[in-house]
Structure 1
Amino acid sequence: MIEVKGPASRVAVIGTGAIGRAVVHRLLAGGRDVTVWNRTESRTTELVAAGARPGRSVREAVSSSTLALLTLKDYTAVQQCLTQLDMGLSGQTIVGMYTGTASEARQAAQWVTGLGGQYIDAGIQASPEMIGTTAATILYSGSRHAFEHHKTTLELLSKPRFVGQTPEAAAVWDLALFGVWYDAQLGLLRALDAVREAGIDVAEFSHTANTQLGHVVAAIAATVSEMQQATYPSGPADLTEHLTVVRHLIELRTGRPLGDGGLPEVAARIEALIADGRGGEGLTATVG
């Protein structure tokens, strides 16, 4: 075990679910002095046996540490724990490690800073078994000073990535990444459902779907450049041509179990751009 001396070695972990347990074990292996608290006390027994200190309350656990990681399932649980901190937090950093929204991150930051502490929001793009490996991605935002101060400890969990000084930056980044997956996966499921209904071999169709998804991935750099430069070349099709296809897709998806994917709103946006004389632009113009 690596011995780390000084206040920075003292860490509290609030919440000992799958992620929390993985975090505690990694911190202990890194020589940190870890205090744990969980609403169901029996869930900390294994961790205490491994070397963690038990906290009798959220207040006691946080008071014992300079860095507190709230490894909880959602903002409701975070809020319940924060309301128990009826004390000053000067010199302490609270990290919210949960999947939440931008407004929730701002609220947590406001609560912590109101008590004199520093707040960091975290988005975990990793499963419990990935914690402490190079495969883990954890995003952080909020107080850069606090992030730099505790970076050595955070590096025990993953290669930390600081994504912005607003509290909500990590939450937005995290949810946007989830959104990429959901949009792609649900889009694929809608397509497979439609072709199956038409009697088409879904396995055969999947090969062409793979190619189509590859076009999206290959165009990421160009799409980013268009957004940054606010120029929207038509590419393979302009907005007037896209509108025709989008309308056909709306008809194809009507009444399907996964809905239309928000395409009527997309069609309305394209129609507005065409009416504004921008029909010759490409699809990226819809977010311009």
Structure 2
Amino acid sequence: MRILVTGGAGFIGSEFVRRQLNSDPAVRITVLDKLTYSGVEANLAPVSGHPGYRFVRGDICDPDMVDHVMAGQDAVVHFAAESHVDRSIEGAGPFVRTNVLGTQVLLDAAHRHGVGRFVHVSTDEVYGSISEGSWTEEWPLAPNSPYSASKGGADLLALACHRTHGLDVVVTRCSNNYGPYQFPEKVIPLFITNLIDGSTVPLYGDGRNIRDWLHVSDHCRGIELVLRGGKPGEVYNIGGGTEVSNHKLTGLLLDAVGAGWDRVEYVADRKGHDLRYSLDDSKIREQLGYAPQVDFAEGLAATVAWYREHRSWWEPLKGTASRG
């Protein structure tokens, strides 16, 4: 299979690429990545010599570039996105451009070239916030940040392309990811690296906000199942099954590095901060046999260890990271 992976130098995209190339000798992957601040080509160093790997630096909003790399592909797995909520609040323009326009450029090219499957990777944040229960795939979209609104718009464009043109589109919506190679503006790597360096960590509001945590390897396992077995035109939630408040998560990370609560700086809450996310992922479990395999406590400990051992990877990136 020949797969175009957009945003393949990012956190989740690079995990997917490494997994595919290490598990399937017949796969051929073209990574298209603009290498903006959070796209790090070093994330792909472990597979850079693989005969099935090709890297193209380019912008998904560039129709000519996209048309060139789309030719001959069997499938697209679309990770490329502006994804940091705080940055979207500061300025929504780049999020609309990349997440909405870029997705449309890719869909148009995929339709034109007769690509067999288009997996659009989205987020649970498109559903908004939920005080109790869990979102199913049929839940109405109610995004609360410019980031999540742009992703919701991209979801609808992808599904509309299936209904209008018959393109084989599937959409995945995941809960919060964590694991190695995550850019250090996100909360877990930000807190880990700050604490390793002896700095404080910023906790929004009272820390009551709850997230469902999903190890990046489990997320990519779910995407693989959808790529190969998902039904055209369908949406699949991919969850981790571990809901943790930000306050509890902070305590776990403090314990992991041997730090105390005096290292926590309480800061004003984020504008429009969603209180709770919770996905019902029974659809992908029942239809495709998905189940997360990484225990949260073990995965978090392994993630802390990875950042301890890979200072040379994250230290140069800290200057470009905003607050998590």
When normalised by structure 2's length, the TM-score is 0.39
Larger Rg: 1
- If asked which structure has higher relative contact order (CA below 8 Å, sep 6+), I would say 2
Indicate the structure with greater helix content: 1
When normalised by structure 1's length, the TM-score is 0.43
